[in-house]
Amino acid sequence: MNNKFDALKDDDSGDHDQNEENSTQKDGEKEKNDRDKPQGSTKRKAVVPGPAEHPLQYNYTFWYSRRTPGRPTSSQSYEQNIKQIGTFASVEQFWRFYSHMVRPGDLTGHSDFHLFKEGIKPMWEDDANKNGGKWIIRLRKGLASRCWENLILAMLGEQFMVGEEICGAVVSVRFQEDIISIWNKTASDQATTARIRDTLRRVLNLPPNTIMEYKTHTDSIKAWEEFHGLVNSSGR
Amino acid sequence: MAVPGSCLPGQTPSRDIPAPSGAPRLPPGNYSSTPGGTVFGTTPGGTRIIYDRKFLMECRNSPVAKTPPCDLPDIPGVTSPNVEELKIENNHVHNYEEKVGAGEEAQFDMDI
C-alpha cells in the first residue's frame, strides 16, 4: 500500500456540505451544546484573533482522520472518518490547539492530521483543490513530528510566498513510513509548484537526496478509482 | 474563492480590532518590533502577515497560548484538555527525536 490517501475520495459527491455539517455536528456535539452554539444553527461563530494576539494571514482548521480498522476502505466515506478539531485565527490560538494535540509520531494506526485554510475541506473535490495537486515527501519513522511542525509553521507564517495558492497540509501516519504533503490550488502553475518545492527544502532542512513527488489531485482520483476497481480496466 | 477571514490581494489587510473586554489586557503584540520576529512583508500579492519560525516558537510561551481551547473535542489518543499530561509526552518525544536526528538538534531545540 503506498501513498493513496485512500480515504480522501468520497463516493457520494454532491452532498458534501450536508454530510460535513452533520458529521461535524455529531462529533462536536458534547462541547458545542455546553457552550456558545447559536440556537437552531450549525454555523459557528466567526473565529477572530483575541486582544493582543498575533493575527494570521488566514484562519485555519485542524482536522483528524483515521481509518477504522477491519473494514475495507471503499466502504468508508471520507466524512465518516474525518473530524474537525477546531479553527484558529491567531498564532496564540494555533498553539492552544497544537499544544493539546498529540504529535503525529505518537498517533497510532492509519491516521492523518490535516491543517487547511478555513473554508477549504481537505478533499480533492473541494473547489479550491479540484485543479490542484500536492507535494509529497515520504519520511522514515521518527521524523514526522518534527517535519510536520516545521511545515505548518512555515505555512502559517506565510513563508511560501505563493499568494493565495496554498490550500493546506497533511501528515499521514502509515505502517512503515510517514508522509507529509502540502496542497496548492493550481497544479499547472509550474512557477508556483517550483517555489513551494524550494521552500519545502529550506524549511524542512531536507537532505539533498530526499525524493519529492508532485501529484495532481486528478491523478490521485484516477489512481484511487483504479485501485478500487471503479473503472472498467478493458476501457483503458 | 473567498476564504473567511482572509485578506485578498489589493485590499488593505485589515481586520476587526478586537474591542477590549472586561478581561485584563495584555500588552500589545510586538508587531514589527521583535528581533527576528514579526514581519509584515510586501509581496506581489499585496501585504501579507509573515512570521518566521523563531517568532512563532516564542509565541508558544505566552500565557494565552497555553490554555486549551474551550471547544477542543475530546478525541482519545489525539487531543487532550490535560496540559500536564501532554507536556510530558511532548518532552519525551522531543528527547527521542534529538537522539535520532543526530547533528540537527540545535535547530529543533524548543524555547520552553
Query: Per residue in A105-156, pLDDT tens?
Result: 999 889 999 999 999 999 999 999 999 999 999 999 999 999 999 999 999 9
Whether the predicted pLDDT of A196 surpasses 80: yes
Report residue B15's pLDDT band, with 50, 70 and 90 as the boundaries: confident
Cα→Cα distances A156→A49, A153, B50, Å: 14, 5, 8
In a domain, A161, yes or no: yes
Residue A104 lies in a domain: yes
| Strands, E assignment, chain A | 55-66, 82-90, 111-117, 133-140, 166-173, 177-184, 212-216
Q: Residue A60: which CATH number? A: 3.30.760.10
Residue A169 lies in a domain: yes
Question: Is the residue at A35 inside a domain?
Answer: no
Note the pLDDT of residue B33. Answer: 40
Give the cell for residue A49: 484573533
Q: What is the pLDDT of residue A74?
A: 57
pLDDT of residue A81: 85
Q: Which of A93, A103, A142 sits opposite B100 (nearest CB)?
A: A142
Share of chain B above pLDDT 70, in %: 31
Let me know if residue A43 belongs to a domain: no
In a domain, A31, yes or no: no
Asked if residue B87 lies in contact with residue B93, where contact means CB atoms within 8 angstroms, the answer is: no
Q: Does B80 sit within 8 Å of A100, measured CB to CB?
A: yes
Q: For residue A14, is pLDDT > 70?
A: no
- C-alpha cell of residue A90: 491567531
- In this model, does residue A21 exceed pLDDT 90? no
User: Domain of A207?
Assistant: 53-232
> Are A96 and B57 within 8 A, CB to CB?
no
Domain count, chain A: 1
Q: In this structure, how many other beta carbons lie within 10 angstroms of the beta carbon of residue A188?
A: 10
Contacting A residues, span 100-139, partner chain B, CB-CB under 8 Å: 100-103, 105-108, 111, 117-120, 127-128
pLDDT value of position B96: 40
Confidence of residue A79 (pLDDT cuts 50, 70, 90): low
Of A28, A99, A205, the CB nearest to B73: A28
pLDDT at B21: 57
This prediction's pTM: 0.69
Structure confidence by residue, pLDDT tens digits, A197-208: 999 999 998 877
In a domain, A34, yes or no: no
Kindly report the nearest CA distance between residue B35 and chain A, in angstroms: 15
Query: Residue A204 falls within a domain, yes or no?
Result: yes
Amino acid A104: pLDDT: 96
Mean pLDDT of A220-232: 83
